């Protein structure tokens, strides 16, 4: 089959939604084989017409089989941002259609594409006239020079490349060779290196399979259709048609070419994938990847935006990119895939990142708020996390009492210090290096404690994802964190094997060779203990600014997020527990709440793990608490409200001895969610001598404020007019500020503190030395959460809403995304919900909004208390009496409708976080006349 040449053309924009005709132009440039004409999206003329001169150019390169249409959102957003008054940066977008692709010129080919041979290596085209990677990079260079961007760049104009798919390779390849012209690089899903030991991704294997290649890519539109079917969610038919448009028979006016004749480039691209060393473009790809490492060495700012649901560009290619560009900022959009610009808004991270990473002369130089402020060496008043292990290595007092699992036991400080040393030595011997990520799939107990502290001492980063996330959530978390190592027990390692989690495997116990090789286990912790018994670990100690751990959030509001802590920040957390909560060295704490069990050795406290299921905090019984407290002499108890509820429920069957053990407890800390005063009173009966505190915090900052039982009773008395749940005063060095809510339910950029903030509803913004260093591989989320940070101080946007009362106590009223935007102003659900909850006959209530932002109607959804012998009401409108009561309880918040349901959906981990998004969807459906169904 011969493919004829055809000229470039300006497409008919009426069938290309989102594309402004003013951006389309033809550019004829001198290429390696003469003048060629490219279709180019160029926002330069539009900006010029508006009288705006760009400070830089985003040079965007599409992949296969898309075309510059892929970049329409970037073109639109940059033009919009540039026209904003006072815009500090103005970005021009230049996005070419590569030759044989999109609306650019079609080259003549005497036959269908075949892969370039080794003899053709380094040639810009194959014998059949198809562009190779070398030719593609040269074409891009030709367009850059034709437009004079190289000259401009030498005069201070910023050039930033942006690529996707094989356009990522072309743009990064060009950037690596033109480092003097390039200010920064950005790429979406791509790959610059194919390790010979890895198999090719399945879709490519299929497309490349010998005789199939021209069939699936050129003769038919199978490859094209397969690619545009990769949207999450699916592309609209209009957008799909627009992507296909240049590859159809009637695409170009005045040419008689059939559809297949227009698709030569698609096949040419696929044939040019360098599958092995014998391929003609293999050497060029090697050059691209080593040039890229130069960008890495020179720390050229780099941004990677990644859609993990990509069947071609798998996570291992991302890992490879990060090795070459260790300085890169990365955001993984967990819900997105190959066609990232279609799946999510990539313009917000791009514009925000450019503002920070590529400052123009007009910008004040802003240090990146992501930079950790912790100094690089330990000061006198800081205690490294392992300091008590060092100091107390000769003591035979108890460090850990472990009643969880099948092998309860006790460990002295002497033993723990020695085991931590042997494991650290063993890990190092096996190949674990400082900075390596180690996923810890080990249930809480003495093994986990020893392994974690060995990792900390070694400088490896512990990755901790709660088993409560479930297999799918854990898999997503582990893929996102991409640990180099997984340490686990059999169940965890089996899941890792089945789900193909990344990372080399180490088991805790020593297993038979058959089991070990089946699970690809290389070593075991117990074997390390034997091999290195009595050996001291003498490697260099990590600095306060070094990463220590990544903890995953519960994921009750979207995919779980990895939260990065440094050594300095965890040490500050331990110091806070010591100074504020009086957890002294030598004391003993019982932890039914995982994060705190692990802090015991850092505080110098004995930590006791009671017998309970990790995934179900509600399985903690009063007997288990008594047993652990007795064994460890514990006087401090940490537990979640769900666990405490069960402790209260099982307290009846305690015997006298157990009761007196619990009577020795002098502090109960309930963490994880607010505690109802009624539950607090019940807890007080179980622990009669204890002070009961309920600190407020989150994975990103575990302890922020604190309130005790007496104060709760005092502030929530009947005459209280405060909305929400009181979580008390900030502890220690914590600062709490309020960012007032706007009418559209978002929080403003202003932070109010002290009396100025009293009574103002807003997002709770916090600052503390022990809060997160950052979100892991979620650049955009991190940048948003730190938007208030200054060079002097880090702030964290919690996405909780609430207010401070006149005594400075914080009241939490819900989550930012659940704020109802009524025409009278934003309404936080927490206040009216608490008042409705207090009605007799109401088990749980949720307040949600229906309708457009700014004019939402307030809806109360009520789950009535079950009445024995009476069937729960049919979901739908509440009866007249309940409606009246709920309206008057909610006042002054105007309630449009009161609905009843048999269950208000809540999260699994805490049994308390209401799924308001789901409820709002249900309410919206039935209140607009739809079927009732169930929420």
Contact positions toward other proteins, by CB under 8 A?
Answer: 823, 850-852, 854-857, 876-877, 880, 883, 887, 894, 896-897, 899, 924, 926-929, 931-932
Q: Which two tokens stand for residue 398?
A: 């108890």
- The CA distance from 237 to 229, in Å, is 10
Give min distance, CB of 901 to other proteins, in A: 12
Q: Which is nearer to other proteins, 76 or 932 (CB)?
A: 932
Give min distance, CB of 765 to other proteins, in A: 29
Give min distance, CB of 855 to other proteins, in A: 4
Q: Which is nearer to other proteins, 254 or 852 (CB)?
A: 852
The 3 state secondary structure assigned to 333-357 is CCCCECCHHHHCCCHHHHHHHHHHH
Give min distance, CB of 894 to other proteins, in A: 7
Q: Which is nearer to other proteins, 826 or 851 (CB)?
A: 851
- The CA distance from 432 to 504, in Å, is 10
Closest CA to 814 of 882, 754, 735, 893: 893
- The CA distance from 30 to 145, in Å, is 9
Give min distance, CB of 895 to other proteins, in A: 9
- The CA distance from 146 to 28, in Å, is 8
Give min distance, CB of 18 to other proteins, in A: 24
Q: Which is nearer to other proteins, 868 or 929 (CB)?
A: 929
Q: Which is nearer to other proteins, 45 or 876 (CB)?
A: 876
- The CA distance from 787 to 792, in Å, is 13
- Bridge partners (DSSP) of residue 187 are 163, 304
Q: Which is nearer to other proteins, 352 or 932 (CB)?
A: 932
Cβ–Cβ < 8 Å for 626, 647: no
Cβ–Cβ < 8 Å for 849, 820: yes
Give min distance, CB of 832 to other proteins, in A: 16
Give min distance, CB of 825 to other proteins, in A: 11
Q: Which is nearer to other proteins, 297 or 884 (CB)?
A: 884
Q: Which is nearer to other proteins, 180 or 881 (CB)?
A: 881
The single residue listed with the structure tokens 């313009």 is 347
Closest CA to 563 of 770, 376, 366: 770
Give min distance, CB of 847 to other proteins, in A: 15
Give min distance, CB of 921 to other proteins, in A: 13
DSSP letter for each residue of 808-851: --EEEEEEGGG-EEETTEEE-THHHHHHHHTSTTEEEEEEEEES
- Bridge partners (DSSP) of residue 711 are none
Spatial neighbors of 384 by CB under 8 A, at least 6 apart, are 378, 541, 542, 567, 571
Classify burial at 912, counting beta carbons within 10 Å of its beta carbon; exposed 0-12, middle 13-18, buried 19 or more: middle
Alpha helices in 209-281 (DSSP H): 212-214, 222-228, 237-244, 259-262, 264-271
Give min distance, CB of 820 to other proteins, in A: 12
Cβ–Cβ < 8 Å for 878, 900: yes
Q: Which is nearer to other proteins, 326 or 825 (CB)?
A: 825
Q: Which is nearer to other proteins, 691 or 896 (CB)?
A: 896
Q: Which is nearer to other proteins, 53 or 855 (CB)?
A: 855
Cβ–Cβ < 8 Å for 898, 886: yes
Give min distance, CB of 401 to other proteins, in A: 56
Classify burial at 718, counting beta carbons within 10 Å of its beta carbon; exposed 0-12, middle 13-18, buried 19 or more: exposed
Q: Which is nearer to other proteins, 470 or 933 (CB)?
A: 933
- The CA distance from 920 to 818, in Å, is 9
Q: Which is nearer to other proteins, 451 or 926 (CB)?
A: 926
For 777, the 3-state DSSP assignment is coil
Give min distance, CB of 161 to other proteins, in A: 44
Our CA angle for 210, 216, 219, nearest 5°, is 110
Spatial neighbors of 759 by CB under 8 A, at least 6 apart, are 803, 804, 805, 806
Closest CA to 898 of 851, 852, 853, 842: 842
The secondary structure element, H or E, covering residue 428 is helix 413-430
Spatial neighbors of 784 by CB under 8 A, at least 6 apart, are 797
Q: Which is nearer to other proteins, 153 or 897 (CB)?
A: 897
For 502, the 3-state DSSP assignment is coil
Q: Which is nearer to other proteins, 88 or 884 (CB)?
A: 884
Alpha carbon 157 to its chain's center: 33
Give min distance, CB of 813 to other proteins, in A: 23
Q: Which two tokens stand for residue 673?
A: 């969610």
The single residue listed with the structure tokens 């009520």 is 862
The single residue listed with the structure tokens 């003591």 is 395
Give min distance, CB of 913 to other proteins, in A: 26
Give min distance, CB of 917 to other proteins, in A: 17
Give min distance, CB of 845 to other proteins, in A: 17
Give min distance, CB of 852 to other proteins, in A: 4
- The CA distance from 738 to 539, in Å, is 44
Q: Which is nearer to other proteins, 857 or 904 (CB)?
A: 857
- The CA distance from 757 to 821, in Å, is 21
Cβ–Cβ < 8 Å for 494, 379: no
- Bridge partners (DSSP) of residue 591 are 638
Beta-strand relationship, 504-507 and 158-163: unpaired
The secondary structure element, H or E, covering residue 917 is helix 916-927
Q: Which is nearer to other proteins, 364 or 934 (CB)?
A: 934
Cis peptide before 233 (omega within 30 of 0): yes
Q: Which is nearer to other proteins, 51 or 929 (CB)?
A: 929
């Amino acid at each position: 089959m011969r493919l004829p040449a055809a000229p470039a053309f300006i497409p008919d924009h009426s069938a290309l939604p989102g594309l402004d005709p003013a951006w389309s132009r033809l550019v004829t440039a001198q290429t390696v084989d003469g003048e060629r004409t490219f279709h180019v999206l160029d926002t330069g003329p539009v900006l010029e017409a508006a009288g705006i001169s760009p400070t830089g150019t985003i040079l965007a390169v599409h992949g296969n089989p898309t075309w510059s249409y892929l970049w329409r959102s970037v073109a639109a957003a940059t033009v919009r941002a540039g026209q904003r008054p006072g815009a500090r940066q103005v970005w021009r977008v230049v996005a070419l259609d590569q030759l044989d692709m999109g609306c650019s010129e079609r080259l003549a080919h005497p036959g269908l594409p075949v892969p370039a041979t080794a003899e053709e290596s380094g040639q810009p085209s194959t014998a059949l006239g198809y562009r190779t990677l070398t030719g593609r990079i040269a074409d891009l260079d030709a367009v850059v020079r034709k437009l004079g961007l190289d000259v401009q760049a030498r005069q201070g104009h910023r050039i930033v490349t942006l690529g996707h798919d094989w356009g990522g390779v072309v743009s990064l390849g060009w950037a690596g060779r033109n480092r003097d012209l390039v200010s920064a690089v950005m790429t979406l899903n791509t790959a610059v290196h194919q390790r010979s030991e890895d198999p090719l991704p399945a879709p490519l294997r299929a497309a490349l399979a010998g005789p199939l290649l021209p069939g699936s890519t050129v003769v038919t539109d199978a490859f094209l259709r397969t690619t545009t079917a990769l949207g999450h969610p699916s592309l609209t038919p209009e957008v799909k048609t627009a992507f296909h448009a240049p590859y159809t028979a009637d695409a170009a006016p005045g040419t008689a070419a059939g559809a297949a004749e227009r698709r030569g480039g698609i096949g040419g691209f696929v044939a040019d994938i360098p599958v092995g060393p014998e391929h003609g473009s293999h050497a060029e790809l090697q050059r691209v990847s080593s040039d890229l490492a130069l960008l890495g060495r020179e720390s050229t700012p780099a941004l990677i935006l990644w859609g993990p649901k990509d069947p071609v560009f798998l996570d291992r290619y991302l890992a490879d990119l990060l090795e070459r560009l260790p300085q890169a900022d990365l955001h993984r959009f967990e819900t997105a895939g190959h066609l990232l610009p279609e799946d999510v808004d990539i313009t917000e991270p791009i514009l925000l990142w450019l503002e920070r990473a590529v400052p123009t002369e007009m910008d004040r130089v802003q240090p990146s708020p992501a930079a950790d402020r912790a100094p690089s060496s330990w000061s006198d008043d800081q205690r490294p996390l392992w300091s008590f292990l060092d100091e107390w290595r000769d003591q035979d007092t108890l460090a850990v009492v472990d009643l969880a699992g099948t092998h309860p036991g006790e460990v002295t400080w002497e033993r723990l210090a020695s085991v931590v040393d042997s494991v650290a030595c063993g890990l190092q011997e096996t190949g674990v290096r400082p900075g390596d990520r180690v996923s810890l799939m080990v249930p809480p107990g003495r093994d986990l404690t020893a392994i974690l502290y060995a990792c900390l001492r070694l400088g490896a980063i512990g990755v901790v994802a709660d088993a409560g996330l479930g297999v799918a959530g854990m898999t997503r978390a582990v893929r996102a964190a991409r640990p180099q190592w997984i340490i686990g027990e059999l169940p965890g390692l089996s899941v890792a094997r089945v789900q193909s989690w990344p990372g080399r495997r180490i088991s805790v116990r020593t297993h038979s060779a058959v089991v070990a090789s089946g699970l690809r286990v290389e070593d075991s912790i117990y074997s390390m203990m034997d091999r290195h018994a009595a050996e001291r670990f003498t490697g260099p100690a990590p600095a306060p600014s070094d990463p220590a751990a990544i903890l995953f959030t519960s994921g009750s509001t979207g995919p779980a997020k990895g939260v990065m802590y440094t050594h300095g920040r965890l040490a500050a957390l331990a110091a806070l527990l010591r100074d504020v909560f009086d957890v002294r060295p030598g004391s003993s704490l019982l932890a039914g709440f995982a994060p705190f069990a692990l802090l015991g050795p850092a505080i110098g406290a004995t930590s006791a793990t009671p017998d309970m299921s990790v995934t179900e905090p509600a399985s903690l019984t009063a007997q288990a608490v008594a047993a652990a407290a007795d064994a460890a002499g514990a006087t401090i108890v940490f537990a979640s409200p769900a666990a405490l509820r069960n402790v209260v429920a099982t307290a009846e069957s305690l015997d006298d001895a157990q009761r007196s053990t619990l009577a020795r407890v002098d502090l109960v800390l309930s963490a994880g969610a607010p505690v109802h005063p009624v539950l607090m009173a019940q807890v007080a009966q179980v622990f009669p001598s204890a002070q009961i505190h309920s600190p407020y915090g989150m994975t990103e900052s575990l302890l922020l404020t604190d309130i005790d039982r007496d104060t709760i009773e005092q502030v929530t008395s009947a005459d209280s007019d405060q909305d929400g749940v009181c979580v008390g005063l900030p502890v220690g060095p914590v600062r709490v500020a309020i960012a007032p809510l706007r009418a559209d339910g978002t929080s403003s950029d202003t932070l109010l503190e002290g009396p100025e903030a009293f009574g103002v509803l807003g997002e709770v913004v916090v600052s503390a030395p022990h809060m997160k260093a950052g979100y892991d591989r979620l650049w955009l989320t991190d940048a948003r959460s730190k938007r208030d940070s200054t060079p002097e101080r880090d702030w964290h946007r919690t996405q909780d809403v609430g207010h401070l009362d006149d005594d400075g106590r914080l009241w939490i009223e819900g989550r930012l995304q659940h704020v109802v935007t009524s025409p009278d102003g934003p309404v936080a659900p927490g206040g009216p919900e608490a008042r409705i909850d207090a009605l007799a006959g109401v088990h749980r209530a949720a307040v949600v909004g229906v309708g457009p932002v700014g004019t939402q109607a307030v809806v109360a959804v009520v789950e009535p208390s079950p009445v024995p012998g009476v069937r729960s009401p049919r979901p739908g409108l509440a009866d007249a009496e309940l409606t009246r009561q709920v309206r008057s309880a909610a006042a002054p918040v105007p309630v449009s409708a009161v609905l009843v349901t048999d269950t208000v959906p809540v999260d699994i981990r805490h049994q308390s976080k209401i799924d308001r998004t789901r409820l709002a969807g249900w309410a919206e459906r039935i209140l607009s006349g739809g079927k009732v169904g169930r929420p």
